[in-house]
Amino acid sequence: MSGGSLLIDNIGSLVTNDPALGRGMLGLVEDAALVVEDGVVIWAGPRQRIPEGAARERVDAEGRAVIPGFVDSHAHLVFAGDRTREFEARMSGRPYTAGGIRTTVAATRAATDDELRANLRRLVAEALRSGTTTVECKSGYGLTVEDEARSLRLAAEQADEVTYLGAHVVPPEYAGKPDTYVDLVCGEMLDACAPHARWIDVFCDRGAFDGDQTRAILAAGKERGLVPRVHAGQLGPGPGVAIAVELGAASADHVTHLSDADVEALAAGETVATLLPGAEFSTRSPYPDARRLIDAGATVALAADCNPGSSFTTNIPFCIALAVRDMNMTPAEAVWAATMGGARALRRTDVGRLAPGARADLVLLDAPSPIHLSYRPGVPLVAQVWKSGTPLLP
């Protein structure tokens, strides 16, 4: 319906994420309606005030909740292979390390474009069925000039945002020569990849890249017009958050292990703290303390971190439930973080909200309130998804 007008009426609870339109941080409007024109929200508010002649098509929400489509700002979707045995071993007591990434690198290099494309499409479609309408996708499982560039080209076919992650780990052929690999990432690989990406990312953690390497890679990316993002503090304390804030990164992701200085820096700066509870769930690791970040004044996002090794899920409602249960977030904070927080992490103003001027990416829940996303964990509550005003589910 992106080329016409649409009225979604009889909404039990409408999340606008605009406090000027409704109650609390979610801008919640009860007994609400929403009007879409040419794929954009043009009106939202109480249904008693629907503008005359608002739309040609009417959808009855039957008292159910409508929320913005989820904005997943951290995903690794271009890969081949399977790490079931690694997961089983980890659940039997073996700790998670960054080294398993190399298993996926070998499988991804051996895969054809069509094989990678088919898996990518499957995962994006899977995410859509659970309400994700905007997805970021990283490279990082090629780690050669050719394979990183093709990963980004494939990602751009399906993802809304594309990130160059040549600095995921040091590949086996550069074992013992990490600085030589960093030179490649900053040079020939960056030259091949920069035209296909908006963002540049580095896994700054033990077993991956140290602070000096991270700073050099991100600085090189910035010189080519890419905006930094950082994997920081997943496996232990480190310099990742400080570097992210220093270089104006849009987001520092994972941030499980934070010093007081890290928290203060995130609260004082523009870098979003993106939390990825699927990784902690799948690695039996301590969850980040979202309450500590929120109370300090940091902006927090939630993302799925879909990848075959440490968080093989595309399901944002699952992550919302984990955030409420295990990360000390309120239901409203978790919904905001998975919508508007994700948009902030991608520096987008057109998604993550349902106020006039926003893209009409929205989700109809088979529930009267968005609280049910954490109240009813594991239940498939997504009844319909619209992207730019077009319904996408059967």
Q: Which residues are annotated as a binding site for Zn(2+)?
A: 74, 76, 231, 305
Taking the C-alpha atoms of residue 140 and residue 146, their distance in angstroms, rounded to an integer, is 12
Which residues in 39-48 are b (16+ Cβ under 10 Å) and which e? bbbbbbbebe
Taking the C-alpha atoms of residue 146 and residue 190, their distance in angstroms, rounded to an integer, is 11
Which residues in 145-174 are b (16+ Cβ under 10 Å) and which e? bebbbbbbbbbeebbbbbbbbbbbbbbeee
Per the annotation, binding residues for Fe(3+) are 74, 76, 231, 305
**Within 10 A of 63 (CB to CB), how many other CB atoms are there?**
12
Task: Assess contact for 151 and 108: CB atoms under 8 A.
Answer: yes
Taking the C-alpha atoms of residue 368 and residue 384, their distance in angstroms, rounded to an integer, is 14
Per the annotation, binding residues are 74, 76, 83, 141, 168, 231, 234, 305, 307, 309-310
Q: Report residue 85 as tokens.
A: 């045995």
* Alpha carbon distance, N-terminus to C-terminus of the chain: 14
Task: Assess contact for 19 and 30: CB atoms under 8 A.
Answer: no
Q: Report residue 25 as tokens.
A: 């941080």
Per the annotation, binding residues for N-formimidoyl-L-glutamate are 141, 307, 309
Stretch (H or E) spanning 275: strand 272-275
Identify which of 128, 86, 82, 87 has the alpha carbon closest to the alpha carbon of residue 108: 82
Per the annotation, binding residues for 4-imidazolone-5-propanoate are 83, 141, 168, 234, 310
Task: Assess contact for 357 and 35: CB atoms under 8 A.
Answer: no
